[in-house]
Amino acid sequence: MWKWIQAFASPQNFYRISEKIIPWFLYPFIVLTLVGLYWSLVVSPADYQQGDSVRIMYVHVPAAWMSLFIYVVMAIAGGIGLIWQIKLANVVAKVSAPIGAAFTFLALVTGAVWGKPMWGTWWVWDARLTSELILLFLYLAYISLQNAFDNPKTASKASSVLAIVGLVNIPIIYYSVEWWNSLHQGSSVSVTKVSMQIDMFIALLLISFAFKFLYGALVLMRARDEVLVREQNSRWVKAVVMRDEI
């Protein structure tokens, strides 16, 4: 298993194998998105209190979950790059940051759209919202650090340390509604309970899995481009470029 991971971590092997893997992420994303939208807009009922405004949840909640998930992946990949000096881990961490920032921004925007009719305002300095906003700033700071150094190794080290330190914000986001008096509603889905109507839960899962497949496809596509840039002086990259030009 470890030998397979080491082989896949080789930039040349990754570039070759990832091309075949990408469709296995894209096609499930398309199917799950179409089915998820149908389930969210047609099958799933309106909430007895929120009405059709509850349908924003089917984008907001999966986007919020992805913002946390991607940050953890980014920090772990950065840690692997720091400890074992695996080039591909640093690449995964770097290309994940803009994707995670986009999902975090989407979670904040959809939360604001939901908050206006529910709370009467677009924004409140609630513990959950504020810690999610801090997460967006962490993503942006990571991206800025990556672009602040000409040397990719130095950039990866500095940004990875920031990502690992920023992990402290993840449990704060997750448990904020329990630790503080929060306007934000508590979790309806956890490991031990699902306190929502089954069709709502199915719609939520469909979109959540669709977002994960989208993330996988985007990471592979962006990582392929990043690998070519970092390995541009390698023979195999020159061979790929010549092949594409023919």
57, 79, 78, 69: which is closest to 173 by C-alpha? 69
* CA 87 to chain CA centroid, nearest Å: 20
- Tens-digit pLDDT string for the chain (246 aa): 556 566 667 889 999 999 999 999 999 999 999 999 999 999 999 887 788 888 999 999 999 999 999 999 999 999 999 999 899 999 999 999 999 999 999 999 999 999 888 888 888 888 899 999 999 999 999 999 999 998 989 999 999 999 999 999 999 999 888 877 766 666 666 655 677 889 999 999 999 999 999 999 999 999 999 999 999 888 888 888 778 765
Tokens 């179409």 identify what position? 34
Domains of the chain, by residue range, sit at 22-43+54-181+193-245
Residues 6+ apart with CB under 8 A from 58: 36, 40, 44, 203, 204, 207
Spatial distance between the Cα atoms of 145 and 90, rounded to a whole number of angstroms? 13
